[in-house]
Structure 1
Amino acid sequence: MITNSKESSANIVTQSMSVLDQRITQIRQQTFQLSQDNEIVDILLYPEEELSPVILGQQNSSFRRLLSLTAYNLSYIDDAYLSKTGSNSVRSYHNAKSNNDLTAADLASLYERVEDKRVYSWLVSDGDTYFIRRIIDIESNEEYGFICLKMNSSFFLFEGSSDFLSDEYITILNEDGNIMKEGSNSISKDWSAYFTQNDTKRYATYTNSIEYDQEKYVLNLANLENEEWVLIGVTPEANILSRITPIITSILIISIILGLLLTVLSNYMSKSIVANIAVIKDGIKEYEKGNFLNEIKPVNDDELGLLAIQFNNMGHRLDELIHQLNEEQEAMRNLEFQSLKAQINPHFLYNTLGSVRWSSFNKKEYETAAAIESIINLLRITIKNSESLITLKEELAYVTDYLTIQKMRYGEALTYSIRTDPDILGIEIAGFFIQPFIENSILHGFDFSERDGVIGIDCKGIGDHIQVTISDNGIGMSAEKVQELLSFKQNNDKRQGFNGLGIPIIYSRLSKIYKDDFTLDIHSVPNEGTIITIIIPK
């Protein structure tokens, strides 16, 4: 029983250590991505006093967007700061629950505690935990500045450990023996004081029974993988035994009852089992030869008889899947060939457009620079998220950048509006399915020589779904044309349209992600316009 107590306590400590390791890894990865982000580097390279109000506003908006995404993904972050080395300039982002704000002097004081050779470091100040990462150019080794994240109390909370090992019994020490998190119980304080005065590294993973104030405890030490930290857990043995003893007793009783039932049932079922096994065995041999359409005929209708019938159904299904797989592989080879034909180096375009953008700014060609910025945003989000889900906010930003570029071409002849419920902006959706419809409206739905074009985009939550409505006042389509466009739903037509992307392609992408839980409808009136309605789950 004591051994079980030790093992249970050790398992809880190991689970808590794994959770903390995962959080540390997330912090490292998120801050590394931020340190490599061109927008973050641009903020540090160009002083605020040298920037126009427009550029400064764009930089602040970009910083808040990047940091809000980081805080959204990592709920245990309260505050984030960006500071340039040797400067009093500080950009900050605060969680809605946070009411703290560090000054430039506070950040400088924290930064002085970071060793020169360390790219990142964990610090504790006034009971708060901070993570600081230096932003360094990989090629020149020049330091631009640093990112500082402040953790909230949930960073050191471990769900599911309260039954055996509550938070008050957990203490965490860093590689220097300093306390990162201290348990509030008196025995935790005593043991943390002992280990801060000794080399915790020499203990490695350690489990032992101890006695404190006439009560027995299980002491556990565990080293984290991603940091040279030690997690110390002190678990009252009574807590563990009170949970383990009823469980073991229940398991023994259930095991005995099940054993008796299985003995009776096995004798009863043995005759019918043997009768069908031979038939199924012969059928499997036929399957091994690739004869999936061979019918297995069961001797009786017991469970194995039903299994034999399922084998027959599976054989027919396998035969269908093999034919379908061959067709899909052929289609995939054609798609790969088309993809290879269309490939370019997107990173080269991104870097080149960035150079052109700054050149336009230097020449005070702000309208051109804004258009290039929209193109860069389109290219960046396409590179990063071409196959993944993105938030509705990112999708609408992508659409806005596209419409900004089109406004450069058509001027006042093209207007648009975007309306959405703020509550649904953070919901992840299938990306890049709105812009193709807008592009089709502009290229094929408007006759600008007759009248100006108006596009409306309306997104709202309806219960457990999101409704996206795209409308225009273009030339419209007849009912026959609409029916023709939607005919692929019945006959799997692969014809292309909508500037080469095609409704079937969009429908296929939504179908793969949402299965049958979405709708796509088109309503159009000649000479009045078209309304496209797409409903997807949240």
Structure 2
Amino acid sequence: MHSPMQRKQAPMRKKGIAIMKMKFRNLKIHQKILFSNTILFIIPCLILSICLFYFMQRKGNIQLNESRLVILRQIDENLEDIFEEIVPFSNYFICNTDINKIISRDSYPSGFQEMNALKEIRNYFSNSRIIYSNLDYNIQILGFNGKNYSLEDMGETTITYPDIEKIKKESWYPALQECSSAIRYIPAYRSEELQKASQESIIYAVKLIKNLNSGREVALLSIEIDQTLIQELFARGMNPHNPQFFIMDETGKIFSSTQEDLVGKNISLDTYIHKLTENSYGYFPARINGVLSQVCFVTNRTTGWKLVMYDEQKGLGWANNQMIILILSISVLYLLLTVLMSFYNSKYISTPVQKLKSDMDIAEKGNLSVRATIESEDEFGELGKQFNSMLNTIENLITELEEKEEEQRTLELNALQAQINPHFLYNTLASIRFLIEMDMPEKADESLVALVKLLRRTFSESRKLITVKEELSAVENYLILMCNRYQGTFEWDISVEKEAEECLIPRISIQPLVENSISHGFCSKTETGHIQITGSICGEDVIIRVIDDGIGGDSTKIQQMIDQGLGIRKTEQFNGVGVRNVHERLRLFFGEHYGLSVSNIQPEGICINIRIPLHYIPEHGQYEKSKKERL
């Protein structure tokens, strides 16, 4: 049930809507377009402004945090560089046999010998300053025999050494014994004894020294890393916003920081600890000392410590003001575009239609070169694109009809070439298996290597033309396979002039001729056959001959079959499919003057001649591109 007030307001709303409709109908067309476009643009403009504000702020925070991670990773890499340079520095003392002998001795017969040992140690320390002049670390060797040595102990000052027995009782020492072959890095706060040597050290690199002969532990090596060095790493990551840094160990305790009041404190909130420990790197908002900050962190891969950068979230007010100015500017621009587009649509909407109609009249008269001018990306622009696409399709169809015959011929030749490979592959694999079964691993290995090279050349090669030298390399692999398959059936020899080897030839041009000699020339021959491949220059051409002393054949009929495609009997030395394929491809590439010719060899045998040009410039992309890729 509606209340009396609601029943009274309903007719008033209907009357107001009717008045607005009437006023809108009375507007002129350009006023209607202006009013409609303004309403339609204001709402998207507001939505776009809000989205822009949100996404730009979000993207800005992500980019800022990613840049902070880059800084942290660089600091971490610098810290890793310090750890890496400590390794050879420590090995200089640990792997030195003289030092090892001195610190392994429990006692000396006389004080003189003990002084000589100390002098020798000091000499090594002095030499280390020269060899590792770029490293400024103090190193101490705390012997289990009670003898201690330091890089700073040159007899001029008194050095306070830690008590090695007390060190053995500290909490970190058992872990060092478990992994005695590696350097372990510990924060200074974890060892009260090591801090006696230097209050400036923040990290200690410690390692147990063992006797090189017996393997017993004889001393503890300690290398001091000063706080100033770590602060220098932090200083390199500073920027105008002055972010702060600290290093937290696996227990959650901060032992180094650009803010001194944080040193020695533990991260108290479990939420922050969880975020820092569950991932190796990342960023999240947090409150540090009561101030809202953005925290970024990475994990050092050597120690597992967390390198943390935090920066107060300040300066956002100015950023918001800039964003508001940007959004207002975009809104004003949208309003201006609305007005301009309204006038444009009302006055010039018919212009693209008239231009398109004129272009269609020209095309109708037979001039297919005409193209519509695309001035916009609206429906009229799409019509123009479709019109241009239609004319392009008509021209392409005409071109395709002209190229169809040549393309079909090429596809047929490619199909013939593809038919050769499967049968050959199956037989070759069977022959390799036979060699293995016959306990001929050398032959099987030779065949397998030749097969791999041949298949790589056949299936990985994208060039249509290759050098004669490359083709002969493939043929040689093929002959190796056939010799191992038909052992004792034939012998072969290849002799080609050096200059002829660099000429271009369609790939898989010689192999079918060799295959023909093996499969048909020697099929009924009882004696060992011979195949000879020669290559020589004849004027402006190169003649490659494949000669065998097989069962022979009628060279006239074979030549007729090659030229005209007529079949011959299988008992003769010839298989027309592969050889005619070679002949057709040679003529297709080089012209009618080139191809195959056949002649008889007395008393038995046949010679197939391949004629190719000495100097041939391939079409663009046939050879030169692949040649550059190989180089």
Same-fold status (TM-score > 0.5):
no
Could you state the TM-score of these two structures normalised by the residue count of structure 1? 0.38
